[in-house]
A and B are shown apart, each in its own frame.
Chain A
């Protein structure tokens, strides 16, 4: 062994201490020296393999890029840097064995290799440095995944934000978001147009600045406790209600307002949707005015027609023939009907305008109901229906407007007759329960379909348009009845089973001192 060879081999101890793979090949690609690092990563004890050809130890290196690199090093003397990116695991080297394992796992370590030339005593050697980058790669992968995930989340977030923004921006309805303390957090462009505030100008102010009579904190956010809850008007939660809104210039206008609450994380927010109904209100008003004008104008001539016909029918004037009398009788009856209809319409308009006068006094309900039954019997006869009153033996005295009460009962009686089958009975019961008087009007007709139950109290509705034709009526009766009963401090509701009939129930307080909402 020459002195030159000694120089390289004298570094054995130093090389063994290095935590990288180091291997030196001689010009024949035989292993000249290798460090102990290899012993931990492959089945060979490297110091026993000196003199073996590297391609015999690791056959798969033959014709690999390592092979090229070794050849080039000897031939041209230049070093080669093999990145893990392009050739991740050139050497068949594995993760170190655990103490209880017989074999290496089949998981190769990721390597980064530098092949370079050494010159010692006129001879060329090839130094291969192997750097285990497995841990670094794993870290990179985690990082990569994290980045990808974060990117994905960010993208999703951005997308939803954009969507959200677009929805808010493009909405025709006003959208205001306010926090649980009642201070405005966001204000969409539609709102800016409606109210004349800029978003930046209104944020942080109380939601009550926008509406007349809506609950809200008194002061601005700076001076008031942000964390204190304020009570949102329950009426507006989940339903559209009309309210008067106030513009920046103090001008007032009609809107529909609906508030819903939402939870973002732990925070509670309210979103208010505002719809401008100024135009609709105007149209409504026009319609109302039109109807009431027309009705008044119709009633004036009708009154004189009815009066004249009444005089003839009553015998004040002699109808020329019996035939003429019959015809005049028909005309008189229909005149009565027309007057009822027009009165209904006028009542409705008055109720809507809160203009109906009530003449409240103490009355006996039983005698009023009896009168109603008498008056409606002729109408019921047309449907071959008879009324049957059953009353508890009590003194049913209540504070009501007798005329309006009879109007309600008459309406219920005529309805019951109208929707009964021929030869049926309509049961009317008068009873006392828990300090209230209950008046029940029960028919055994076809009943009210479920779909119709919700709209029964609305104007101009009947179960289906065809019943209007069959049974007659404007569909205003129940609407008016309800308004009247409510005004007299009572309640009205119904129970109905399809095919078995309907019971309308009115309850009136029996107490003597009650406030009348006229």
Chain B
């Protein structure tokens, strides 16, 4: 596998579009859940190595991750990542300001798990729908640690390739940046490209 992975522009556009639809759905279900307007930005899509993502998050900063394993035409682990302080902000915004901080910390895991579940499922759902392919997805799991520990706990090597989407979660006046990462096994990215290729063929574009 080449060091610097670059998707052909058409494929990249296709992926962006897929995630766009997914993120849109996620935003809709989130808004419905908390009864307030919420917007998720158009994602930035890049393909990176894990160590690059660690650097991006900041090696010594606490992060929280909600991850779900996906099995199907390609196998991947989908992860939603927030900085610890951002995650608290998200939970606070969603649960209301009158909640004492001690309680927020208690509820953080459950609330974020559901948020992660919605966002990740919306994206995967959108992809699977568009590809007309079927995926098996696991129940979400929550983790809070330094980035390296989070990835180590997921048995990921620093060389693993990831498809990284950067999304901004905006809730009323404050906005929070979260990262959505699809982490692929050694040949999964090729499988993804194949799948996109098939899709494009079906659409008659390529």
Contacts and interface: CB of A to CB of B under 8 A. Distances in A.
Interface of A: 65, 68, 72, 75-87, 112, 114, 116-117, 140, 143-144, 147-148, 151
Nearest to A129: B139
Contact of B134 (A77, A81, A144, A148): A77
Contacts of A72: 121, 125
B160 interface: no
A109 B48 CA distance: 46
Given A85-B110, A86-B111, 9 more contacts: A65-B29, A68-B29, A75-B125, A78-B125, A79-B139, A81-B113, A143-B103, A143-B106, A144-B102
A85 B111 contact: yes
B33 to A, nearest CB: 5
B139 A65 contact: no
Contacts of A75: 125, 129
Given A85-B110, A147-B103, A76 B121 contact: yes
B103 A85 contact: no
Interface centre among B32, B110, B111, B124 (most CB of A within 10 A): B110
B125 A85 contact: no
Contacts of A82: 114
Contacts of A65: 29, 32-33
A77 B103 contact: no
B86 interface: no
Q: How large is the interface on B (under 10, 10 to 19, 20 to 34, 35 or more residues)?
A: 20 to 34
A148 B98 CA distance: 11
Across the A-B interface, the 5 shortest Cβ-Cβ residue pairs: A78-B137, A83-B114, A76-B125, A81-B117, A78-B121
Interface in B94-120: 94-95, 100, 102-103, 106-107, 110-111, 113-114, 117-118, 120
20 contacts: A65-B32, A75-B125, A75-B129, A76-B124, A76-B125, A76-B137, A78-B124, A78-B125, A79-B68, A79-B137, A79-B139, A79-B140, A81-B114, A81-B140, A83-B111, A84-B110, A85-B95, A85-B110, A117-B136, A140-B106
Interface of B: 29, 32-34, 68, 94-95, 100, 102-103, 106-107, 110-111, 113-114, 117-118, 120-121, 124-125, 128-129, 134-140
Given A147-B102, A151-B100, A76 B135 contact: yes
B130 to A, nearest CB: 11
B102 A81 contact: no
A75 B134 CA distance: 8
Contact of A86 (B34, B100, B136): B34
